Amino acid sequence: MELRHLLYFKAVAELLHFSKAAVQLHISQPPLTRQIKELEKELGVLLFRRNNKRVELTEAGTYFLKECDTLIRQLERSKQLVKQIHESTSGEFKIGYISSTPKTALANVLKALRQRYPLLKTRLYEASTSKQIKALEEGKLDVGIIRAPIHSVQLHIESLDLDKFALVCPVNMPYELNAAWLKEQTFISYNSNYAPDYHNKLLDCCNRLGFYPEIMHECNNMHSILCMVENELGIALVPVSVKDQYPYLKLVFTEFSNIHVSTEIVLAHHQHTIHPALNYFKQMYNSFYNKNIDRLV
């Protein structure tokens, strides 16, 4: 059994169509069919039921697809680890971060990394928590700054802070911190599919205040949310940690001191990541992040 057998089988199993799988694999159909038959012969099982109209996985084929996925992921992970070892500190260090990440803290960490590892190229990717989790699991990111909860046994998680919520309004807008006023307002927030756990936390916060928010505008990054608030398109509930990140925006932040709802900010990386810059990044980010939060308090 060779790697190509697994790749060919996976393509057919996912598409359930030999011709389409052959196109995806950039080969003709007869060699593909022959390779699948060789694989079935070696395994001693029938992986597909096929006739002129359809292709179906057998029970053995369904089980083997799961095993095949696991083997391919392990192989990709091994390739990433070998590459990390080879490149050492003169390669790339890929960092994911959510849009509410304090940019000053992140910039200071990058400066410290440059001094410690002058040949290391840092790559920054702003992405949602869910996208970062997938990228971390697949070895496409070395470390991520994300929000809990993290439902992945593959990742190592280190807590940074519990981030409470604050009401943000345009600077000249009179506001009231009560349910009667809040439920009459138009809200701006993240897209619920983009940040589902964050969205649920926001609803929890509103529920404790005694109202359900009318979310009329949805965005995929914090800066866009705050810009829309400044332009009087609505108000928003946002993490307190973003309060001083955009001083040029004309906004008023008011923390809900009596509402004990918060989101947890964490650092995450794959349990098997061995990049030499990782521990130093975590050490420096914790230091600069805590300094940034202390300044906000």
pLDDT at 201 over 60: yes
pLDDT at 297 over 60: no
Q: What is the mean pLDDT of residues 125-142?
A: 93
pLDDT 10s digits, 242-265:
988 888 999 999 988 788 888 899
Which are the contacts of 58, defined by CB distance < 8 A and separation ≥ 6? 45, 46, 47, 48, 49
Predicted pLDDT at 235: 96
The domain spans of the chain are: 3-77, 86-159+264-296, 161-263
User: Using 50, 70 and 90 to split pLDDT, how confident is the model at 296?
Assistant: very low
Predicted pLDDT at 83: 67
pLDDT at 87 over 60: no
Q: What is the CATH number of domain 161-263?
A: 3.40.190.10
Which are the contacts of 118, defined by CB distance < 8 A and separation ≥ 6? none
d(CA 70, CA 12): 17
- For residues 252 and 171, the answer to whether their CB atoms sit within 8 Å is yes
Predicted pLDDT at 269: 95
275: closest CA among 127, 107, 116, 125?
Answer: 116
What does pTM read for this prediction? 0.65
pLDDT at 74 over 90: no
φ and ψ of 144, to 5 deg: -135, 145
Tokens of 216: 């009329």
pLDDT 10s digits, 172-183:
999 888 899 999
Same fold: 3-77 with 161-263: no
- Greater confidence (297 vs 204) lies with 204
d(CA 239, CA 166): 6
Q: What is the mean pLDDT of residues 104-112?
A: 91
Q: What is the 3-state secondary structure (H, E, C) of the chain?
A: CCHHHHHHHHHHHHHCCHHHHHHHHCCCHHHHHHHHHHHHHHHCCCCEEECCCCEEECHHHHHHHHHHHHHHHHHHHHHHHHHHHHHHHHCEEEEEECCCCCHHHHHHHHHHHHHHCCCCEEEEEECCHHHHHHHHHCCCCCEEEEECCCCCCCEEEEEEEEEEEEEEEECCCCCCCCHHHHCCCEEEEECCCCCHHHHHHHHHHHHHHCCCCEEEEEECCHHHHHHHHHCCCCEEEEEHHHCCCCCCCCEEEEECCCCCCEEEEEEEEECCCCCCCHHHHHHHHHHHHHHHHHHHC
> Which CB contacts under 8 angstroms, 24+ apart, belong to 103-111?
103/245, 104/245, 104/288, 104/292, 105/285, 105/288, 105/289, 105/291, 105/292, 106/145, 106/285, 106/288, 108/284, 108/288, 109/281, 109/284, 109/285, 109/288
Q: What is the CATH number of domain 3-77?
A: 1.10.10.10
Q: What is the CATH number of domain 86-159+264-296?
A: 3.40.190.10
Predicted pLDDT at 258: 82
Which are the contacts of 272, defined by CB distance < 8 A and separation ≥ 6? 77, 81
pLDDT at 24 over 70: yes
Predicted pLDDT at 212: 93
